[in-house]
Structure 1
Amino acid sequence: MTVNIWTAADVARKVIDNKELFILDVRNADAFADWKIEGHKFNYLNIPYFELLDGVEEILPQIPTDIEILVVCAKEGSSIMVAELLAEAGLEVAYLEGGMKSWSMYIEPVKVGELSGGGELYQFVRLGKGCLSYMAVNEGEAAIIDAVRFTDVFIKFAEEKGVQIKHVFDTHLHADHISGGRHIASQTGAAYYLPSKDAEEVVFDFTPLTDDLTVKLGNSEIEVGALYSPGHTIGSTSFVIDKKYLLTGDILFIDSIGRPDLAGLADDWVRDLRQTLYSRYRSLAEDLIVLPAHFMIIEELNEDGTVGKRLGDLFVENHGLNVEDEEVFRSMVTDNLPPQPNSYEEIRHVNMGKVTPSNEEQTEMEIGPNRCAVR
């Protein structure tokens, strides 16, 4: 049998198309437990590759023969070796090109819906990291919100759509991934917006992102309007696009709410978080579709691969929006939080412009799942 090579894009289609897949993950057990490739119909076997150096015979009974098999490791090398052993044993098998490193970086653009006057809204789904970025396009112009560091993905997509990037926003100073926002702006001549309250330590120029700031795309009525919504950070800002979509940054997710502790100020920001979720958002139209900056689990993906849900439904279903007692809420968002994101302090400094690590260093900083939510 020959060994097939799958790219991260190939695996992403399996996730989005809801296909079956068996993954043999040959990383160490702790790495697998912390972070793996998730799919609605994926099954897994985790055997560290060093346990397979003498052969794969003992694990063959645990490997199915009726669904596709993918071998995964951190950076590719170990999975090639194991895949070749499985092929020699008569199995048709593939390995993931670039390993989990490539999975962490892959981005899949998915259309969310139509905007007024022929406009469109796209969600850029970074499946391996749970990051969600956005691009609204209309009449030859585009606005980007919460872009990750892979600037070429957004610039090439805009070129394919025949639109000019005019506005680039970050909803807040990110701590779990490196923003590409200001770099896209510098490459395209777009304005880069960042909340001033999050930007006291940044060392580059930006346009202040203020409450009620509104920009229009083209000459139409499509508006991208800012809504101050602190709590995850003191400057966190949401956006209402075309009176249809609510982009919540890291304040509200589909199955959880944002954590207030990544700048070390959880106790100070709890009241802001509650006011945003239980007051500011409650005053908005319940038909708005919530589009967050992250997702935590694969079940949050819709059938078309997007992540989004009606605000009114979240008021009913999201546990973080249904804690009546303020002290219980405070305890929930300050006590027993999940581990903080990998290298989150260093990532904040990168996003402030204080340090400029190499691409390899940035990749290592971002490895692992996002942990922006209260779980």
Structure 2
Amino acid sequence: MTQQLRAASAAEVYERILRKEPLFILDVRNEDAYADWRIEGESVTSFNVPYFDLLDGVDSVLGKLPQDVPVLVVCAKEGSSKFVAEQLVEAGLHDIAYLAGGMQAWSEYLHPVKIGDLASGGAIYQFVRVGKGCLSYAIVSDGEAAIVDPARMTDVYVQFAKEQGVSIRYAIDTHLHADHISGGRRLAEAVGATYFLPPKDAPEATFVFTPLEEGNTIAVGRSVIEIKPVYSPGHTIGSTSLIVDQQYLLTGDILFVASIGRPDLAGKAGDWAPDLRKTLYQTYRQLSPELRVLPAHYATEAELDSDGRVSARLGDLYQVNPGLRLEDDAEFRKAVTENLPPQPNAYQEIRLTNMGKLKPSDAEASEMEIGPNRCAIHG
């Protein structure tokens, strides 16, 4: 029986990883691209052989591929992986697929998951951008929605709102992002929503926005789900957290489940380190420890729960998060300013894009965002 070559979508691959089903990945990108960023998971095994080493045939890798586990061939944009996968099928291997759209599609896939219901009615949802570790949110109530820290793939939120039977009233960025291009302004323009952005992060913005400032309350739906901004600088000077319905704390890039935000992406690590410390060790400590922390990023699969959600109780993080256990001021300052992980790909150009100063094409935007987010002090 002739084997059929199959294209596997990013969604299909992620669902398999979530179910912890074995998957073997042959990544045919260049060695440096593979070392920088790849598909990972508890049930994933992968190894790298550059495409150019396989142009004359796949005999060299046949003995390294399993016979009883699905094999997924991966490249940057699909073409090379499809070529290699075809050769593997011709060589008689079974259960071979290639990643449709390549790592570009993996980087841009958003997986929606419900976080929970809200006490005053409605619900909150998390969109997990699995290939980049970005997290965005939809707060839904009585026919309305607010989208927080949206990715540039805004069609996902529009489709979600349509399926939920709600209209998007607000698009909110907790800060000026440096690891990915915000979809906030584009989304607001597309659906006629109000776009919020912290004014201290946007003095050079070339567009009009509504200031996201502490002291104001944003209401979603007739049941009045309240979103209360809390000024929380440190990752950026304007970073503003959101308390939703007294249940959830959307921390942006200030606090993650396994780490804390880095203060250096605007070149002001030394200046902003005291702000970061004050936010984490004073402002947040005054909040209820029962709040569920919902960050804007995660770094590893270990931060996902069994349902693929990223969240944690604030009080618990003060016991286990290494960034919240640096009581000595000098020790904290050293941790957030020295020996930090590499900075995100094209982060300076991304910041300028989010200010409206650069207008990349879709292809250029996709290339700028390739790679992990790297917004935390711990790699």
Quickly name the TM-score band, shorter chain normalised: over 0.9
Is 1:311–2:322 an aligned residue pair? no
Choose which of 173, 176, 181 in structure 2 pairs with 1:178: 181
- 1:123 aligned partner: 126
- 1:243 aligned partner: 246
Question: Tell me, what secondary structure is at the counterpart of 1:258?
Answer: coil
Choose which of 49, 64, 67 in structure 2 pairs with 1:65: 67
CA–CA distance in 2 between the matches of 1:368 and 1:198? 24
Choose which of 171, 187, 192 in structure 2 pairs with 1:189: 192
- 1:336 aligned partner: 339
1:289·1:309 contact (CA, 8 Å) conserved in 2? Answer: yes
The one-character-per-residue Cα deviations of 1:134-193 (angstroms, maximum 9, x if unpaired) are 000010011111001011111111111111111111000001100010111112221111
* Aligned sequence identity (%): 59
Q: How large is the Cα RMSD of the aligned pairs?
A: 1.0
Question: Tell me, what secondary structure is at the counterpart of 1:220?
Answer: coil
Choose which of 338, 351, 365 in structure 2 pairs with 1:362: 365
Is 1:136–2:139 an aligned residue pair? yes
2:121·2:225 contact (CA, 8 Å) conserved in 1? Answer: no
Question: Tell me, what secondary structure is at the counterpart of 1:364?
Answer: helix
- 1:158 aligned partner: 161
1:117 CA drift (Å): 4.0
1:14·1:39 contact (CA, 8 Å) conserved in 2? Answer: no
CA–CA distance in 2 between the matches of 1:358 and 1:162? 31
The one-character-per-residue Cα deviations of 1:279-316 (angstroms, maximum 9, x if unpaired) are 11111111111110011111111110111111111111
Q: Which 5+ residue runs of structure 1 have no aligned equivalent?
A: none
1:371 CA drift (Å): 1.0
Moved more, 45-54 or 162-171: 45-54
Q: Report the AA paired with residue 343 of structure 1.
A: A
Listed as ranges, the matches of 1:1-375 within 5 Å are 1-92=3-94, 93-375=96-378
1:57 CA drift (Å): 2.1
2:121·2:223 contact (CA, 8 Å) conserved in 1? Answer: no
Q: Report the AA paired with residue 177 of structure 2.
A: H
CA–CA distance in 2 between the matches of 1:244 and 1:116? 8
Question: Tell me, what secondary structure is at the counterpart of 1:137?
Answer: strand
1:91 CA drift (Å): 1.3
Question: Tell me, what secondary structure is at the counterpart of 2:63?
Answer: helix
1:30 CA drift (Å): 1.0
CA–CA distance in 1 between the matches of 2:79 and 2:303? 32
1:213 CA drift (Å): 1.9
CA–CA distance in 2 between the matches of 1:114 and 1:73? 39
Q: Report the AA paired with residue 368 of structure 1.
A: G
CA–CA distance in 1 between the matches of 2:245 and 2:69? 43
TM-score by length of 2: 0.97
1:249·1:292 contact (CA, 8 Å) conserved in 2? Answer: yes
Q: Report the AA paired with residue 339 of structure 2.
A: N
1:215 CA drift (Å): 1.4
Question: Tell me, what secondary structure is at the counterpart of 1:116?
Answer: coil
CA–CA distance in 2 between the matches of 1:344 and 1:332? 21
Question: Tell me, what secondary structure is at the counterpart of 1:133?
Answer: strand
Question: Tell me, what secondary structure is at the counterpart of 1:125?
Answer: strand
Q: Which 5+ residue runs of structure 2 have no aligned equivalent?
A: none
Moved more, 242-251 or 14-23: 14-23
CA–CA distance in 1 between the matches of 2:296 and 2:215? 20
CA–CA distance in 1 between the matches of 2:262 and 2:106? 25
CA–CA distance in 1 between the matches of 2:251 and 2:85? 42
2:120·2:245 contact (CA, 8 Å) conserved in 1? Answer: no
TM-score by length of 1: 0.98
1:116·1:221 contact (CA, 8 Å) conserved in 2? Answer: no
